[in-house]
Structure 1
Amino acid sequence: MGAPVTVRGLRIVVDKANGGGEQAIVDNLNFTIAPGEVLALIGESGSGKTTTALALMGYARHGCRIAGGSVTIGDTDVLALSEPQQRALRGRTVAYIAQSAAASFNPSRTIMDQVIEPALIHKLLPREQAEVKAVELFRELALPDPDHIGSRYPHQVSGGQLQRLMAAMALISDPDLVILDEPTTALDVTTQIEVLRAFRRVVRERRATAVYVSHDLAVVAQMADHILVLRDGTMREMGATEQIITAPVNDYTQCLLAAARPREREGGQCSAEAGSSQPLLEVKNLSAGYGAVDKQGKPAILILEDINLKLYRGQAIGVIGESGSGKTTLARAIAGLIAPSKGQMLFNGKALPPTLAQRSKDELRKVQIVFQMADTALNPSHSIERILARPLQFYKGLSGAALQKRIAELLDLVKLPSSAAQRLPGGLSGGQKQRVNLARALAAEPDLILCDEVTSALDTVVGAAVLDLIAELRRELGLSYLFISHDLHTVRSVCDEIVVMQHGRKLAQVARADYERGPHHPYYELLARSVPELRRGWLDEQVVVPA
C-alpha cells in the first residue's frame, strides 16, 4: 500500500451564470506526496480543500469542472482516464472517507454488507474472504466485538464507531491513496481521540499514502507529515508539520494559527453576583425526555434528570458534555420546544410555561435560540430580508421604512453588508449564515439567547470571528447566554461559569476564577484533556479512552 502522488498545475473552474465565463476555484496547484506520508490540506471554508481532494479521484462536484493540470497516483495519470476507468479507480486505487459517516451508510443494510462492498464490486475477494478481512480491519480500528459488529445496522453503533467502520470500508480494497475529509469534525472531543488514534495507527501500519482535509490545525498536528495551506483555491504555504505550526512564513497561515489558539474573550464578566439579586433564569429539578409518558409522567426515554442551575442577567454560562449528555435537550426545554416531565423554570422570578404554545408573545420574545446547523435553520427559499422581517413584524409590529431600517441595523450589528438582505441563504458562507441566525434572534430583543453548538460546524477562523461577535454583543447589549458545546476551550473563552453534564445529569459547575484551579470533577478533567493541543505529540500522551 502507498503510492507517490504528484499534482501539477491543477485548475478547477465553475461556470458563471448566464454565460458569464468561468471562475477558477482551484488555480495552478502543485504538490507531491511521498509513499506512506500524510499530507494535510488546511484552510477556511471555501478555500478549495475538499474540491482539491475530490480531484485526486478525477471527480468534480456538480457545476465544477477540472479544466487543467495533471494528477498522478503511482504510474496512473488520473485525469487522462476515461470516465469508466475513473469509476474503476474509485474505491480501488483511491478511497474516500467522508465527514458524515451517518449520511454515507445505508440504514437498511447491515454494516458488513456495506464494508465489504468495494472488495466485491472490484472483484478483489470472494465474499467469505472479504468478511474475514473486514473483521481483521475491525480489530485494527479498535472496534468493540469485532467478530459480530458487522451484523449490526448503522443506527446500532455510535458515531465514533461508524466513522471507524467507514474507514474499514475504505481500506478493505488496499488502496494506494486514502482521502480523509474532515472525518472527526462531527464527533465530540473524547470520541475524536479514539478515532484519531485508530486512523493514525492504521495509516502508519499499512504505510498508506493519505490526504487529510481539515480546518482544525490541532488535529492535523497529530496526523500529518506535511501541511498545505489553501486560501481562495491557491497555495499560500507548504511545509513540514512542525515548521508550519511553530514557524509559519505566510501571513494567512499565521492568522489560522492565531485563531486556533484558545484565548479569553471579555464579555462583561458576571458571576453569581449575586446572592441577593434575582436570577434571570432558574431551572429547578428539571427532567425531560422523549416518547410516550407513563402514569407517573415519566417519558419512555429519559434524557435529563434533576437539573438545577441559575443564570443571572448579563451572565454567560457554558454547558459541556459528550454527545448524548443532554445539553441540547436542556436548551430545547428552556426554549419551550420540549415539555419537561418534572421540575420548573423561572424567568425573572416568574414561572415560565413549559411549552411554546403556552407562552405569551412577550415570554417567547425574551428567550431565543440559535441552532447548530445554520443550513437547516434558515428557509432556503426566503431572502435574508424576509427571514429577518418575520420576527420584527411578529414581536415589534414593524412595517415599511421602520422595518427596512431595523433590518439594516441588525445586519450591521452582526457585521454583514446591507446587500446581504437581498440574497438567499444558499448565496452565503457558513459563517455568514450563522450571523443571520444570530441577527434573527437579536430581532426579538431577547434577554437570553441559547447558543447550541453555534461554531462546531464552522472553520477555525470563522468560528473565532463568531465567538468574538457573541462577546461583543454581550458587552454592548447586556445579553445573557446559555452556551452549549462539547469543546471546553470554546466555552472557557466566552463563559463566566461552566456546567458539566454527563448521561443527562449535572456533575459540576465551575466558575471562571477556578478554571485553572483544581481539582475538578474527573469528567471535567477528561473533557479538558481531550481537546487537541496545537503541538506535535499531544495524541501520544493521551490515555486510552474505552470505546
Structure 2
Amino acid sequence: MGASVEVSHLNIVAQAGGKDLPIVTDVSFRIEPGEVLALIGESGSGKTTIALSLMGYARQGCRISGGTIRVGDVDVLGLSAGEQRSLRGRTVSYIAQSAAASFNPSRTIMDQVVEVASIHGLMPREQAEAKAVALFRDLALPNPQTIGQRYPHQVSGGQLQRLMAAMALICDPALVILDEPTTALDVTTQIEVLQAFRRVVRERNTTAVYVTHDLAVVAQMADRILVLRQGRQQEQAETRQIIESPQDDYTKSLIAAAKPAPRDAGRLAPDAASTPLLEVRSLIAGYGALDKRGLPASPVLNDVSFTLHRGQALGVIGESGSGKTTLARAIAGLVAPARGQILFDGQALAPEVPGRSRDQLRRVQIVFQMADTALNPAHTIEMLLARPLQLYFGLKGEPLKKRIAQLLDLVQLPAQCAQRLPGGLSGGQKQRVNFARALAAEPDLILCDEVTSALDTVVGAAVLDLLAQLRRELGLSYVFISHDLNTVRAVCDDIVVLYAGNKVESVPRAAFSQAARHPYFELLASSVPELRQGWLDQRSSTSRLALPPMAVGTPPNPELCSFLDRCPLRVSGACDTTAPPRRRLSSDVEILCHRSEADLIALQPASV
C-alpha cells in the first residue's frame, strides 16, 4: 500500500569554492497514496536531485539545506544516517536509468534481487526467492522460475530493466522512484516495460515518482506533473491539464518541443552523377574470429548497402541488437568488416583505424550513445575538447581556449563548464560535450549513435536544430542512429531499417507517410508513444498477439526472413521456405519481403 508524500519548501545546495550554490529552491508538492507524480524539465532542472532527496540522499558535494520531507508518518530529514539507510530499499526504493550499470555482472540476478530483503531482515531466503519469482511473473518476464539463475549479461536490456523493478519492489516499499527507466530502450521494448511498470504500480497501489523528459511517456504513466526549471517549480497540475492546456510559458515550450517537426536543412537534391560522400557495399560484419568461409563467429550485419551524399542525413532505425551501432563502428574503423567495402569520397577506407590517414580520421567522427563511458572521468571538459584541436590543428594557448569556448557555446553549455569534470555534469550536459568533441575535428561526416536519447525535449530539439544548421552552413553529413522514429523523421532525408543485421527497408523522405511499408517498420511506427492520455491502453488492446512459429520446435533457418517468427503478414509456403526478395515499391521504397505493395497496403492498419 502506498503512502502519502509531502515535500515542503525543499532547498538543496552544491558547495563550490567555499560557497553554497542553489540547486533546488523552495520546491513543494504532495503525492496521495497510490498516485504517480512525474517530475519533468530540462537536464539540470533538479528532477533527479529532488527524487533522491526523498530517500534523504544528496549527491557528493551537495546537501539538503532546508525544508521538510515526509513519507507517510516518517520525517525523512529528521532521521539519523543509520535510520535513513534503513529507509532506503524498505520504505523508499529507487529504479535507476541504467540497469546494466546497476547490476553486479559477477552475481546471479536472483542473488541481487533478494539481497535488499536480506539486508533489511524481512524474510528468509526461500520466501524471498518465491516472492521474486512472483514479481518476475507480474512483470511479464520470460521463464520466471529460472530467469533468476542467469547473470545480467544473459538477458536483454528491457528484461534487465524489469528485473531492477523487481529488486525495488520486493520489500513492498511505500514509495518507488523511477528515474528515466525507459530512456535507453528501443520503442518496442519500452512498450513492454511501461505496460509492466504501470500494471504492477496500479495493482499494488504503490505511490511513485517518475523522473523523465519524455512527455509522451508521462502521458501514459502519471496522474500529476510537476514542471521544473533550474531547480524551481514552474507549474503543477493533473496530467491532462498540463498536456492539453499548460499555463506556464516554459511548460508550453516543453510541449512544443515534444512534437518534433521536420528540420529543413536547405539541402539540394544530390546529383546522381556526383561521387557519394559515403558508400557502403554489401557489408558483412560481426565479432570474433573468422571461420573458414571468412565469416565472423558472432555475425551482426548481413549484406547491408546504402549511399550517403554530401549534406545528407541518413537515419538508421531498429531495435537493440539490430546492428545499428555495429554499422557505425564499422564505418568509423572500430570493427573490421568481414566482407564488403566502405568508400569515403570515392576512396576505399581501410578496415580499421590504424590503416586510415589522419585526414580520414578527422573527416569521419563518431558520437557514442553513452557519454558516461565515452568521456574520461579524470579529465576536465577543457582537456577533453583540447585533444582533437591539438591533434588535428595544433592549437595551443589563447587560440585553443577561444575555440573551446566557441564549441561550448555551440552546444549551449556555459563557459565555466570547461573547468569541470564529467562527473559534475548532468547526463544531457555530458552528451553535449560528447557532441562538441566530435565537432572540434571539423568533420565532413558525423556518426550519431543515439545522440539525443539522454537529452530532454528542449535540449534535444536544440541539438536537432544545430544539426540542421551545420548541414546548411558546412554541408555536414550524418548517419543518425536512433530508436526514436519521430526524431529520425524530423532530421533525416532517408531511413534505413535494420532487423537482425539485415536491411529490411529503405525509405526516402517523400515516402515517410506511405501506406506500404515492411511489417517490421509498421511495428516500430506503431510503438512510438503519442502525446495523449490513453494511448498505451489503446495500443495494448489493438496490438497483435505474438504468433507461434510456423514449424514448432524447428530452429530458425538463417537463409529465410529474419523477421519470420514475429511477422503478422507472413505467407505459409513462401516465407517459411524461400528467402525474401528485395523489391522496389513506388516512391523508391525498397523492402526485403515476399509481400507485394498491394498486399502491404491492404493488410496493414493505418499507423503514424
TM normalised by structure 1 equals 0.94
Tell me the equivalent position of 2:444.
447
Q: Are residue 367 (structure 1) and residue 374 (structure 2) matched?
A: no
Post-superposition CA distance 1:235-285 (Å, at most 9, x none): 1110000000111111111111111112111112355x3433322211111
2:108 & 2:403 partners in 1: Cα distance? 53
Structure 1 gaps, min length 5: none
CA shift for structure 1 position 544: 6.4
Tell me the equivalent position of 2:12.
12
1:430 & 1:172 partners in 2: Cα distance? 28
1:171 & 1:423 partners in 2: Cα distance? 36
1:162 & 1:387 partners in 2: Cα distance? 32
1:7 & 1:402 partners in 2: Cα distance? 49
CA shift for structure 1 position 38: 0.6
**3-state secondary structure, aligned to 1:116:** helix
CA shift for structure 1 position 438: 3.5
| Bigger relative CO (Cα 8 Å, ≥ 6 apart) | 1
1:85 & 1:474 partners in 2: Cα distance? 55
Tell me the equivalent position of 2:96.
98
Q: Which amino acid aligns with 2:447?
A: L
Q: For the structure 1 residues 68 and 114, does the alpha-carbon distance in structure 2 shift closer, same or farther, using more than 3 Å as the test?
A: same
Tell whether the 8 Å contact from 2:337 to 2:351 is kept in structure 1 after alignment. Answer: yes
Post-superposition CA distance 1:92-137 (Å, at most 9, x none): 1112111111122222222222222222322322222222221111
- Identify the match of residue 36 of structure 2 among 25, 35, 38: 38
1:215 & 1:265 partners in 2: Cα distance? 21
Q: Which amino acid aligns with 1:524?
A: F
Tell me the equivalent position of 1:87.
85
Tell me the equivalent position of 2:458.
461
CA shift for structure 1 position 377: 2.8
1:30 & 1:49 partners in 2: Cα distance? 13
Q: Which amino acid aligns with 1:465?
A: A
Post-superposition CA distance 1:181-233 (Å, at most 9, x none): 11111211110100000000011111111111111111111000000111122
**3-state secondary structure, aligned to 1:286:** strand
Q: Are residue 70 (structure 1) and residue 47 (structure 2) matched?
A: no
Q: Are residue 482 (structure 1) and residue 489 (structure 2) matched?
A: no
Q: For the structure 1 residues 443 and 232, does the alpha-carbon distance in structure 2 shift closer, same or farther, using more than 3 Å as the test?
A: closer
Tell me the equivalent position of 2:313.
316
Tell whether the 8 Å contact from 1:37 to 1:209 is kept in structure 2 after alignment. Answer: yes
**3-state secondary structure, aligned to 1:179:** strand
**3-state secondary structure, aligned to 1:131:** helix
1:399 & 1:440 partners in 2: Cα distance? 16
- Identify the match of residue 344 of structure 1 among 319, 341, 344: 341
Tell whether the 8 Å contact from 2:428 to 2:454 is kept in structure 1 after alignment. Answer: no
1:135-284 matches, within 5 Å, as 135-270=133-268, 273-284=270-281
* Identical-pair percentage: 71
Q: Are residue 517 (structure 1) and residue 519 (structure 2) matched?
A: no
Post-superposition CA distance 1:311-360 (Å, at most 9, x none): 11111101111111111111111111111000111222222221111112
CA shift for structure 1 position 437: 3.5
Q: Which amino acid aligns with 1:224?
A: A
1:176 & 1:184 partners in 2: Cα distance? 22
Q: For the structure 1 residues 163 and 414, does the alpha-carbon distance in structure 2 shift closer, same or farther, using more than 3 Å as the test?
A: closer
Q: For the structure 1 residues 212 and 266, does the alpha-carbon distance in structure 2 shift closer, same or farther, using more than 3 Å as the test?
A: same
Post-superposition CA distance 1:77-96 (Å, at most 9, x none): 22222222222222111121
1:70 & 1:384 partners in 2: Cα distance? 36
Tell whether the 8 Å contact from 1:6 to 1:71 is kept in structure 2 after alignment. Answer: yes
Q: Are residue 377 (structure 1) and residue 364 (structure 2) matched?
A: no
Q: Which amino acid aligns with 1:172?
A: I
2:120 & 2:402 partners in 1: Cα distance? 61
Q: Are residue 504 (structure 1) and residue 496 (structure 2) matched?
A: no
Tell me the equivalent position of 2:330.
333
Tell whether the 8 Å contact from 1:267 to 1:475 is kept in structure 2 after alignment. Answer: yes
Tell whether the 8 Å contact from 2:260 to 2:461 is kept in structure 1 after alignment. Answer: no
1:72 & 1:263 partners in 2: Cα distance? 42
Tell me the equivalent position of 2:590.
none
Tell me the equivalent position of 1:394.
391
TM normalised by structure 2 equals 0.85
Post-superposition CA distance 1:434-469 (Å, at most 9, x none): 444434333433222211111111121111111110
Post-superposition CA distance 1:141-169 (Å, at most 9, x none): 11111111111121111111111111111
Q: For the structure 1 residues 438 and 147, does the alpha-carbon distance in structure 2 shift closer, same or farther, using more than 3 Å as the test?
A: closer
**3-state secondary structure, aligned to 1:289:** strand
CA shift for structure 1 position 374: 3.1
Tell me the equivalent position of 2:599.
none
Structure 2 gaps, min length 5: 547-565, 567-608
- Identify the match of residue 122 of structure 1 among 110, 120, 129: 120
1:175 & 1:334 partners in 2: Cα distance? 47
CA shift for structure 1 position 389: 4.1
CA shift for structure 1 position 173: 1.2
1:428 & 1:140 partners in 2: Cα distance? 36
1:106 & 1:207 partners in 2: Cα distance? 30
CA shift for structure 1 position 425: 4.6
1:398-413 matches, within 5 Å, as 398=395, 407=404, 410-411=407-408, 413=410
- The aligned length equals 544
Q: For the structure 1 residues 518 and 440, does the alpha-carbon distance in structure 2 shift closer, same or farther, using more than 3 Å as the test?
A: same
Tell me the equivalent position of 2:296.
299
- Identify the match of residue 540 of structure 1 among 534, 537, 541: 537
**3-state secondary structure, aligned to 1:219:** helix
2:225 & 2:257 partners in 1: Cα distance? 17
Tell whether the 8 Å contact from 1:194 to 1:544 is kept in structure 2 after alignment. Answer: no
Q: For the structure 1 residues 435 and 9, does the alpha-carbon distance in structure 2 shift closer, same or farther, using more than 3 Å as the test?
A: closer
Tell whether the 8 Å contact from 1:453 to 1:485 is kept in structure 2 after alignment. Answer: yes
Q: For the structure 1 residues 406 and 146, does the alpha-carbon distance in structure 2 shift closer, same or farther, using more than 3 Å as the test?
A: closer
Q: For the structure 1 residues 208 and 404, does the alpha-carbon distance in structure 2 shift closer, same or farther, using more than 3 Å as the test?
A: closer
